Structure 1
Amino acid sequence: MHQTSPLDAPVVREPRHTPVAHLVRGGVVEGVHHGSVVVLDADGGVRFRLGDTEAAFYPRSALKPVQAVAMLRAGLPLDGDLLSLAAASHSGEERHLEGTRRILARAGLTEADLRNTPDMPYDPVVRDAWVRDGREPSRLAQNCSGKHAAMLWTASLNGWTLDDYLDPAHPLQQTVAETVEDLTGQRVAHVTVDGCGAPLFAVSLHGLARALARITSAPAGTPEARVADAMRDHAEMASGVRRDVAALMRAVPGLLAKDGFEGVQVAALPDGRAVAVKIADGADRARVPVAAAALAHAGVDAALLDAFAGAPLLGGGRPVGAIRTVRALEAAPLVPSA
């Protein structure tokens, strides 16, 4: 497996975020969302940046496409909808639970072998139905179960132990860390535990954008291209029928997009143009509008992005405001920065 020589790890510091979006009510700025944004050209150059794109941060689930590439490199024989599920933060719909069962069955395993944190489905409609039916939190319903099932199968195929597959020192997680460094082009700055129990690797926002660009622009048939194809072809399996990230992939031809908790969004096009967004306060309402503005600066037809400008702010049941990206994002140049 060819790997580049990673750069030094990003610096662990308080990120120097800057305003990226305003909540405007009745013409008055009621709230301000800080964050950081980076836009990459097809050649990997930085077209636009705002805030702190080089500090270490946690991509959360936005790193799942990279984890999926690592598993394919280690021999995981998945493609199509089940590979999309292996890279998913799924909504807990029946298709997701059934798909996770299929991965486990192919590995000769069951839900009892999963080590992710039990949870209710992520989608509020599905979750409400679970509550009405008296169903309890489960490892299968938790949004990372597809990834965990794929991790277990990868470990089994390689003869690695299963009970400790989430240990950062486990061969599986060492393989993931190596792939993170390869695709981001930088050393991992810190390792902790994600909400699902899997290791979480700190990189920079710039590194995250670079990783997804390398995945979408890789030659056909490579692990990277297989992940990109699976997620784009089965966007609802990678997220859910009511999820904005699936709608974004459907709206923009060829786009691969992945969200992450705490206001993270990354997206890339087949030619390697990419954007990455971090909303400092973790607020979800600013994530997609800021990402849509960044994609417009990457050259995506603005008409394809109109639906992602953000839901209107209501007052008395009628629109009185909205999320507005800051002027710096609106005025970003469409040519490479000096």
Structure 2
Amino acid sequence: MSERTTLPPHRAPGAPPAVREPAHVPVAHVVRGGIVEGVHHGSVVVLAADGSVEFQAGDIEAAFYPRSALKPLQAVGLLRAGLPPLDDPLLALVAASHSGEERHLAAARDILALGQLTEDDLRNVPDLPYDPAVRDEWIRRGLGPTRLAQNCSGKHAAMLLTSRTRDWQLDNYLDPGHPLQRELAAAVADLTGQGIARVTVDGCGAPLFSVSLHGLTRAAARLATAAPGTDEGRIAQAMREHPEMVSGGARDVARLVRAVPGLLAKDGFEGVQIAALPDGRAVGVKIADGGDRARMPVTAAALAHCGVAPEALAPFATTPVLGGGAPVGALRAANTLAS
């Protein structure tokens, strides 16, 4: 296959964010019997449609690792680098942290097949399916960890396919110095508008780029407002139309996208969430202790600042706290996040 010789122009990014201990603040309370039993700290940013900061709490400018919330940006980078045309369900899987459902595994196989590749070419870490019910059934069938079942296999399959298309070496496609990873880093810097502070290794084995929560949220807004047919617009369309491919049928992110018309959303390990509306209003959340239970209530509170209808957010705004099997309180956003 011939190498693509022309690439889209990139904007010169600004300086990388500062590497420092983030000044997180209380963002969620665990309330039991009318008393605050636990507190989750974190940082939150809400962008207005014009890109200005409408609300912020904590430290939105410190360098941090977005984990899988970075995948939509990497997916744009893969298109820029020459990823061949994919239909929307497959393209959604490229930006996914999937649950390991059969539709996810089939889509990853389809991406690999386009490049005459197989699961043996993947270099992500073997794992069991992410969804607990799917994982339990997997184990009942006597199956063990595989690279295809690991939640990042769609991204890795697309990395391999892009490398095959560009005639790049395949066995070291995860090396930060590989041409593919250099182009993905350039895309992340372009979309966030800032340089990359640090590069490390994500849980799946791929390079992970450090930006700020503000920069990551700015990138989400760019994808959400992109014109149809652009690389950004193609990823946004695929993620909006196929949220179950981006996560899974039982996942809260897919349900949130279905509940809020036009929403683009992606979660990440260690309590990271981005969400953006078609007019550019966007939110970014980082829970300091990585506790996933606080991620969605805080995201719902942030989206309320964007004017999202309360009835759409109600199923996500609180999580019951149980005592003796019955609700005795709730995990909810701290009062400082109230709109």
Say yes or no: TM over 0.5. yes
1:335 aligned residue:
none
**Counterparts of 1:248 and 1:318, CA distance in 2:** 25
Instruction: Answer whether contact 2:225 2:278 (CA < 8 A) is retained.
Output: yes
Is 1:40 the counterpart of 2:23 in the alignment? no
**Counterparts of 2:69 and 2:204, CA distance in 1:** 14
1:265 aligned residue:
273
Instruction: Answer whether contact 1:79 1:226 (CA < 8 A) is retained.
Output: no
2:142 aligned residue:
134
Is 1:62 the counterpart of 2:69 in the alignment? yes
2:246 aligned residue:
238
Aligned pairs for 1:101-180 within 5 A? 101-180=109-188
Instruction: Answer whether contact 1:38 1:48 (CA < 8 A) is retained.
Output: yes
**Counterparts of 1:4 and 1:236, CA distance in 2:** 32
Residues 10-67 of structure 1: CA deviation (Å, up to 9, x unaligned): 0011110000010000001100000000000111100000000000000000000000
2:193 aligned residue:
185
**Counterparts of 1:36 and 1:284, CA distance in 2:** 14
**Counterparts of 1:73 and 1:17, CA distance in 2:** 35
Aligned pairs for 1:177-216 within 5 A? 177-216=185-224
**Counterparts of 1:311 and 1:127, CA distance in 2:** 24
Gaps of 5+ in 2: 1-7
2:256 aligned residue:
248
1:4 aligned residue:
11
CA-CA distance at 1:302 after TM superposition = 1.6
1:289 aligned residue:
297
**Counterparts of 2:206 and 2:183, CA distance in 1:** 13
Instruction: Answer whether contact 1:72 1:78 (CA < 8 A) is retained.
Output: no
2:3 aligned residue:
none
Runs of 4+ in 1 over 2 A off after TM superposition: none
- Cα RMSD, aligned residues only: 0.7
Instruction: Answer whether contact 2:16 2:195 (CA < 8 A) is retained.
Output: yes
| Number of aligned residue pairs | 331
The alignment's TM-score, normalised by the length of structure 2, stands at 0.97
Residues 281-312 of structure 1: CA deviation (Å, up to 9, x unaligned): 00111000000100010121121100001321
SS of match in other structure, 1:47: strand
Is 1:22 the counterpart of 2:29 in the alignment? yes
Instruction: Answer whether contact 1:294 1:329 (CA < 8 A) is retained.
Output: yes
* Aligned AA (2:135): R
Residues 229-273 of structure 1: CA deviation (Å, up to 9, x unaligned): 001111101100000000000000000000000000000011111
Instruction: Answer whether contact 1:285 1:310 (CA < 8 A) is retained.
Output: no
1:336 aligned residue:
none
Gaps of 5+ in 1: 333-338
Instruction: Answer whether contact 1:41 1:272 (CA < 8 A) is retained.
Output: yes
Q: Percent identity?
A: 69
2:80 aligned residue:
73
Instruction: Answer whether contact 1:265 1:276 (CA < 8 A) is retained.
Output: yes
2:5 aligned residue:
none
CA-CA distance at 1:315 after TM superposition = 0.5
Instruction: Answer whether contact 2:319 2:332 (CA < 8 A) is retained.
Output: no
